[in-house]
């Protein structure tokens, strides 16, 4: 995580050493902090460098030396292996004070807004630039003294873009960054222009006029075209307001030594998997059990952020398969894993379950499991083998919760063969009609690469948090996205060499 430039300032020189020199300090990225060593109990006040300010606007944060590392209280702990959960933003060039204070800013028309009603408010202020800007643009942060309701959105016109919004529940502020567009990246010192934007309710929940009548805000000017509400430190934005995690389930048809050995095909699989933060893979067939670990090793050669788990080789026939999992270890940590013990003989290939913890405390879903499955395909309108296997995934989920009661949020995903000749009617699936199960993909979706039109692959959610946090379910058509019909291995287009299934995906927060 990039933390901008900040220092741990001394509460007393005898406690933290001489902060005017580098002696006695260790560097952690851009952080300089006193060496903690064995001096347990040492306490230092956290300060930003002169060009930066703490994003919390809290000047009383202290760090305490504990067990050889620094502890920052509610902001977390940090040492050479862990970055503290706070940071500094670039300082503003100037602040215009409260936007509705006549003594601080020349408001357009001398009013709080140009016009307003219950549904919208058009805001306009005349800004006087603090310095010359010849290139690189400039930005203005609107810091509201109260949380702006979620139904109110911000819209701009020709000069600015809305680049970031953060609703800070701790300080009860909403921060909205407006950055200049490319056609307006230069401005002369003391030049004047209108800072104009619209606040609009998307569904009429909030009376916008009443809100702006009763809520002040500060306008802060920054150098450069900011990309986040915390200029110069996008890691803070990503931590406090994390980007939704992207999940995929991908049957990589007969993935083993042969497919791994086709380098251009293997590289295309890697490119697909790197689109996601966490994935499960079906149909790993490799008696040597090295193809999948080598695949993850190749992913780490490009960016060393991936961890993995592989289930047991299973199957009642000679064809044994494994379920694989790969995830961004900066975002998730494996808590536990096991293969379902199928004492009743319900499954051709018993599912593999992995429990995960989110490493970002601001994600809604903190503890969850993934149940990965490859269901046996059996045709016939009266044969219920495939349907029965799918329905017994409910018992797998219940068994997994019994083993880890804190992990009730779940993603059940995989090649379920849940369409066409294998499943006569989704309504015959008790897992489908179960009100506690959320199926994300319609049965008219096509998850196959070939000419068939079947929704074989599915994602089913369990648990209140997971069912409330999902968005954007889709089938990822890598054939079109990467134009794989024009990429060849030994004269053959690689589309069908990659797989006969497309990945299925969704995001969750």
3-state secondary structure of 232: coil
- How is residue 323 written in tokens? 């379920």
Annotation marks residue 321 as catalytic: yes
Cα separations in angstroms, 331 against 167, 326, 363:
22, 12, 10
Residue 186 and residue 206: Cα distance in Å, rounded? 37
Cα separations in angstroms, 251 against 199, 229, 234, 414:
46, 40, 35, 7
What is the CB neighbour count within 10 angstroms for residue 149? 14
Assess contact for 462 and 368: CB atoms under 8 A: no
| List 90, 321, 323, 389, catalytic entry | 321
Tell me which residue of 266, 261, 300, 115 sits closest to 196, measured CA to CA: 115
| List 125, 374, 392, 501, catalytic entry | 374
What is the CB neighbour count within 10 angstroms for residue 507? 17
Degrees (nearest 5) of the Cα angle 118, 122, 128?
150
Backbone CA torsion sign across 163, 167, 168, 174: positive
Tell me which residue of 158, 105, 165 sits closest to 141, measured CA to CA: 165
- How is residue 378 written in tokens? 């059996």
Query: Residue 369 contacts by C-beta under 8 Å, 6 or more apart in sequence?
Result: 353, 354, 355, 356, 400, 404, 407, 409, 410, 411
What is the CB neighbour count within 10 angstroms for residue 303? 9
Annotation marks residue 392 as catalytic: no
Longest Cα–Cα distance of the chain, Å, equals: 82
Tell me which residue of 412, 408, 387, 389 sits closest to 249, measured CA to CA: 412
Strands 367-374 and 409-415, by their bridges, are parallel
Count the residues in the chain. Answer: 509
Tell me which residue of 269, 266, 265, 289 sits closest to 279, measured CA to CA: 269
Assess contact for 182 and 201: CB atoms under 8 A: no
Assess contact for 44 and 16: CB atoms under 8 A: yes
Tell me which residue of 474, 85, 410 sits closest to 242, measured CA to CA: 85
Q: Show which residues are catalytic.
A: 321, 374
């Amino acid at each position: 995580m990039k933390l901008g430039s900040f220092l741990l300032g001394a509460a007393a020189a005898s406690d933290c050493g001489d902060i005017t020199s580098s002696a006695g300090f260790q560097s952690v990225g851009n952080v300089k902090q006193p060496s903690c060593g064995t001096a347990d109990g040492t306490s230092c006040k956290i300060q930003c460098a002169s060009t930066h300010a703490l994003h919390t606007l809290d000047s009383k944060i202290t760090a305490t030396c504990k067990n050889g590392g620094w502890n920052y209280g509610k902001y977390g702990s940090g040492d050479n292996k862990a970055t503290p959960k706070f940071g500094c933003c670039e300082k503003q060039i100037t602040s215009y004070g409260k936007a509705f204070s006549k003594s601080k800013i020349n408001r357009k028309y001398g009013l709080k807004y140009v016009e307003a009603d219950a549904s919208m408010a058009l805001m306009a202020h005349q800004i006087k630039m603090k310095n010359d800007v010849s290139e690189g643009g400039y930005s203005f942060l609107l810091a509201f003294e109260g949380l702006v309701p979620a139904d109110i959105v911000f819209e701009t016109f020709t000069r600015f873009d809305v680049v970031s919004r953060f609703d800070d529940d701790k300080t009860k502020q909403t921060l909205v960054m407006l950055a200049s567009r490319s056609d307006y990246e230069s401005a002369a010192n003391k030049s004047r222009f209108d800072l104009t934007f619209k606040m609009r309710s998307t569904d009429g929940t909030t009376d916008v006029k009443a809100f702006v009548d009763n809520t002040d805000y500060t306008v802060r000017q920054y150098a450069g075209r900011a990309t986040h509400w915390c200029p110069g430190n996008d890691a803070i934005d990503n931590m406090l307001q994390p980007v939704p995690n992207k999940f995929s389930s991908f049957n990589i048809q007969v993935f083993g030594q042969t497919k791994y050995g086709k380098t251009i095909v293997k590289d295309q699989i890697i490119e697909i998997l790197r689109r996601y933060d966490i994935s499960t893979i079906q149909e790993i067939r490799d008696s040597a059990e090295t193809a999948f670990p080598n695949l993850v090793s190749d992913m780490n050669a490009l960016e060393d952020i991936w961890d993995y788990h592989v289930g047991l080789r299973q199957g009642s026939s000679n064809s044994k398969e494994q379920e694989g999992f790969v995830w961004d270890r900066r975002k998730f940590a494996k808590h536990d894993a096991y293969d379902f013990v199928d004492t009743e003989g319900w499954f051709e290939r018993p599912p593999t379950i992995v429990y995960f913890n989110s490493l970002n405390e601001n994600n809604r879903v903190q503890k969850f499991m993934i149940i990965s499955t490859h269901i046996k395909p059996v045709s016939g309108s009266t044969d219920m083998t495939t349907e029965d296997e799918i329905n017994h995934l409910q018992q797998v989920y219940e068994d997994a919760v019994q083993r880890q009661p804190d992990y009730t949020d779940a993603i059940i995903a995989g090649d379920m063969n849940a369409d066409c000749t294998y499943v006569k009617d989704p309504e015959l699936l008790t897992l489908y009609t179960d009100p506690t199960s959320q199926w994300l993909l319609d049965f008219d979706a096509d998850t196959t690469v070939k000419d068939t039109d079947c929704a074989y692959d599915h994602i089913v959610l369990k648990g209140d948090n997971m069912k409330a946090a999902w968005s954007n379910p889709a089938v990822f058509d890598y054939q079109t996205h990467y134009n794989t019909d024009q990429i060849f291995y030994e004269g053959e287009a690689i589309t069908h060499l990659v797989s006969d299934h497309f990945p299925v995906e969704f995001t969750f927060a």
